[in-house]
Amino acid sequence: MTNNLMRTLAIFYCQNVPECEEEERQSLEKRYGRSIRLFPMPCSGRIDIVHLLKALEEFADAVYIITCPEGSCRYLEGNKRVAKRVERARSIIECIGLEKERIKIITPLIENNRISLESYSEDIMKEAMAIPPSPVHKTT
């Protein structure tokens, strides 16, 4: 992918997602440079609507949240809480004229689904190419 085609993405992810180690995060940030910003969270339920909107306002073309598998949240309902917040944030950005697809949640189906952070990031980058660059960041 060439740089002019890249999107800048914010990816918040639960640190309890299998195969999401710190070394992998650092490797991805080195590989994608400024096109990707990864934010490990102790629980996806700690992510607030403000975090999502602020990322879109300041630098991101799209925001993705990777939760732990449903039913395996060590804080019981963190991934359910963030799902409600994502829906609210999507309705807010849609009201101001942005595509709701700029915010997406990814929940692995089962705990044994060992997909690496790198695989998630590659899939997210490909998917984000369908979203136009953010009009919020247009330079004049």
* Amino acid 1: pLDDT: 40
In the numeric block, the tokens 């359910």 are attached to 80
What does the pLDDT look like over 21-73, one tens digit per residue? 788 888 899 999 989 999 999 989 899 999 999 999 999 999 999 988 877 78
- Domain locations along the chain: 3-131
Domain 3-131 has CATH 3.40.50: yes
List Cβ neighbours of 28 (8 Å cut-off, separation of 6 or more).
36, 38, 117, 118, 121
The pTM of the full predicted model, rounded to 2 decimals, is: 0.88
Question: Taking a C-beta distance cutoff of 8 angstroms, is the pair 67, 14 a contact?
Answer: yes
Please give the helix or strand (H or E) that residue 86 lies within, else none: helix 78-95
